Structure 1
Amino acid sequence: MPKQDAQEQPKRAATRTDVARLAEVSTAVVSYVVNNGPRPVAASTRTRVLAAMEELDYRPNAVARALRMRSAQAVGLVVPDVSNTYFGALARELSVQAFTAGYALLLGDADNDIDRERAQVESLVSHQIDGLVIVSLDPASVAETGTTPTVFLDQRSRPGQLSVIVDDRGGAAQAVSHLIGHGRTRIALLSGPVGAPGVSEREQGWRQELETAGLPTGDDLIARSEFSRAGGFEAGQDLLSRAQRPDAVFVTSDVQALGLLAAARRRGVEVPRDLAVVSFDGTEDALFSDPPLTAIEQPIHRIAEAALSAVLEKGLEHSPLTIPVELVVRDSCGCESTDAESR
């Protein structure tokens, strides 16, 4: 095998000493230029240092600089499970908006573990981030964020914690009302784990709408699972094997609904003829499922915008700030799709 030409070898990253040597100044002066202080630098000297940095492609250590400057020009996000399509979409939108505002996004995945969530929060705060957004596994969690501006994207039970939430209860009620409008009378709930973000409120909306309509809400109509396709499949198998099978299901997340659809196919239950389905989230999972899912859509752009504003600008006028959701009709409920992309 021929030897790699010396010019093709990876270049060593330039150091502050290299910059100082090229600009004919001390390393301290390079530090003053990089950090804009604490001592003033003559304009001509600053120009030489900046030119040397550009010629050598010098990149200061971002973490060390953040510790000195008390700012990382970065925002942190901690979510329960980044593999969940909704949290992935949220992270992407926050990253786009943060970048536009001049900040990087640092992501922490709790892997559905409250101790890991706490560790992720502490790690991000130690990097001197400028703001922190948390979707917590526990509405009573106490995050050690110090002076870092923090906003939660879930219902909080502790006073003083800022939060931006969506109308989980109202969205669930809207979903169930839509299913009732299709003449469905045994509307089951495929719910998430007790205590998980939004679960209690979505269950309340489901129950409230059915009770108002005089329809059953018994435990035989409820199944629970993790927010995953596998969890939705197992819960769907359970629901569809019961003595009185439901004729509709409201599902608390798109990823669970994908599992439910797979369980229905396994058992020969046709959606929407035999089983109407409406999910919550409205991610790309809903758009590209088979059939496409009618869903309560969370406006991720508005959620990210409100969260960034809360941690980088002015906080919140009131907390919690509730953002409305929208029913997007596709095929899984029995309607003709109104979403042009799903046709």
Structure 2
Amino acid sequence: MATDRRRVPTIHDVARVAGVSRGTVSRVLQGGRNVSAGALAAVEGAIKETGYVVNRAARQMVTGRSGSVAFLLTEPQERLFHDPNFGVLLRACTAELAAHDIPLLLMIAGTEGERRRNMRYIAAGHVDGVLLISSHHGDTVTAELHAAEVPLVVCGKPADASARIAHVAADDRGGAREMVRYLYATGRRRIATVTGPLDTSGGVDRLAGYREALAECGLAADDALVAAGDYSRGSGAAAAEQLLGRARDLDAVFVASDLMAQGVLTVLERAGRRVPEDIAVGGFDDSEAALESRPALTTMRQPYDRISAEMIRLLLARIGGQDPAAVILPTELVVRDSA
């Protein structure tokens, strides 16, 4: 009985359909350098028409590259599922790389054992570059990747400000200043804050922006109005308990993440404090948590799609041999019901 065994399309088939040389197709498959826009479009169309699939193993032998990128999260595994920001970044980075036919490998280094295993894998050349998510002061991951000369882009400012490391960040400091000034403009004068983790650049910069805005508004700094969190909902609730115990007269809270703000709102409701009538609450991120909150959360929007796109752009440039660069993106005030 006859069987229909279709011949697997080759690079020669792609070249024939596109009307270009095999060398042009090869350059497109290796990143599209020194290829005209017209030839690039013709080759991409021919790949779709023929159904050609890249032999990544063969390409790695020729180019010395794996054709893949790592998304390295230096947080415990449960944070990936509990914090909506990480999921948004993962999806957006995956979509950006898909446009370049590059798969994204998820790696989690929340423990020392995970860090060692992932670093061995990365250093062995199994990925072409790393997107490092959630860099903490004192950890060794950034320094190890930098020392190993692995192409790297950090989400947020690197913990080691002196190192020349490519990074993309939102304007945490400026966003915090804008939120506190907004709360002041609504008539609030006892403005507290729940900080992010102070071993991260985002936590440090948002606290600095809060303090700068108080000074600009002529309000005195008061340590009783500052409580620390770690970006989790539970830490926001614990911080709100501390603030209410220390400063019963507070009338606003700037919370350094939307997820923590959900915890703050829960405690305020339990304490019989109305939002925003008694206490206004402002968050940071404009994540799903902001819309799920009751009342809906006034917050600072981080442009996650742009952050992801810039991270991919910088990483591909680093893989291609370009020098590290930095991009700081503006945040946007989103006013809802909580303030």
For normalisation by structure 2, the TM-score amounts to: 0.73
**More helix as a share of residues:** 2
One-letter amino acid of the counterpart of residue 149, structure 1:
P
One-letter amino acid of the counterpart of residue 266, structure 1:
R
State the Cα distance separating 1:139 from its structure 2 match: 4.5
**Distance in 2 between residues matched to 1:139 and 1:211, nearest whole Å:** 27
**Distance in 1 between residues matched to 2:322 and 2:337, nearest whole Å:** 38
**Distance in 1 between residues matched to 2:116 and 2:165, nearest whole Å:** 16
Partner of 2:182: 178
Partner of 1:71: 65
Tell me whether 1:143 sits opposite 2:139 in the alignment: no
3-state secondary structure, aligned to 2:131: strand
**Distance in 1 between residues matched to 2:255 and 2:246, nearest whole Å:** 17
Alignment deviations for residues 18-50 of structure 1 (CA, whole Å, 9 cap, x no partner): x9xxxxxxxxxxxxxxxx9xxxxxxxxxxxxxx
3-state secondary structure, aligned to 2:305: helix
**Residues 63 and 127 of structure 1 are in contact (CA less than 8 Å); yes or no, is this contact kept in structure 2?**
no
Tell me whether 1:259 sits opposite 2:253 in the alignment: no
One-letter amino acid of the counterpart of residue 78, structure 1:
L
Partner of 1:32: none
Partner of 1:44: none
**Distance in 2 between residues matched to 1:249 and 1:197, nearest whole Å:** 21
Is the alpha carbon distance of 1:82 and 1:121 closer, same or farther for their aligned partners in structure 2, counting shifts above 3 Å? farther
| Residue segments in structure 1 that go unaligned for 5+ positions in a row | 1-18, 20-35, 37-57, 334-343
One-letter amino acid of the counterpart of residue 322, structure 1:
I
State the Cα distance separating 1:213 from its structure 2 match: 1.0
State the Cα distance separating 1:72 from its structure 2 match: 2.9
**Distance in 2 between residues matched to 1:114 and 1:324, nearest whole Å:** 34
State the Cα distance separating 1:116 from its structure 2 match: 4.5
**Residues 229 and 255 of structure 1 are in contact (CA less than 8 Å); yes or no, is this contact kept in structure 2?**
yes
Alignment deviations for residues 103-134 of structure 1 (CA, whole Å, 9 cap, x no partner): 111112233x5774565344344352122111
Tell me whether 1:325 sits opposite 2:324 in the alignment: no
Partner of 1:340: none
One-letter amino acid of the counterpart of residue 108, structure 1:
M
State the Cα distance separating 1:76 from its structure 2 match: 0.9
Report 1:10-89 matches (<5 A): 70-79=64-73, 80=75, 81-83=79-81, 84-89=83-88
3-state secondary structure, aligned to 1:270: coil
**Distance in 1 between residues matched to 2:299 and 2:305, nearest whole Å:** 17
Is the alpha carbon distance of 1:329 and 1:132 closer, same or farther for their aligned partners in structure 2, counting shifts above 3 Å? same
One-letter amino acid of the counterpart of residue 195, structure 1:
D
Is the alpha carbon distance of 1:170 and 1:108 closer, same or farther for their aligned partners in structure 2, counting shifts above 3 Å? same
**Residues 67 and 103 of structure 2 are in contact (CA less than 8 Å); yes or no, is this contact kept in structure 1?**
yes
Partner of 1:41: none
**Residues 70 and 128 of structure 1 are in contact (CA less than 8 Å); yes or no, is this contact kept in structure 2?**
no
Structure with bigger gyration radius: 1
| Residue segments in structure 2 that go unaligned for 5+ positions in a row | 1-7, 9-25, 27-52
3-state secondary structure, aligned to 1:269: coil
Partner of 2:130: 132
Identity %: 33
Report 1:176-255 matches (<5 A): 176-255=180-259
The one of 277, 283, 291 aligned to 1:273: 277
For normalisation by structure 1, the TM-score amounts to: 0.73
**Distance in 2 between residues matched to 1:98 and 1:59, nearest whole Å:** 15
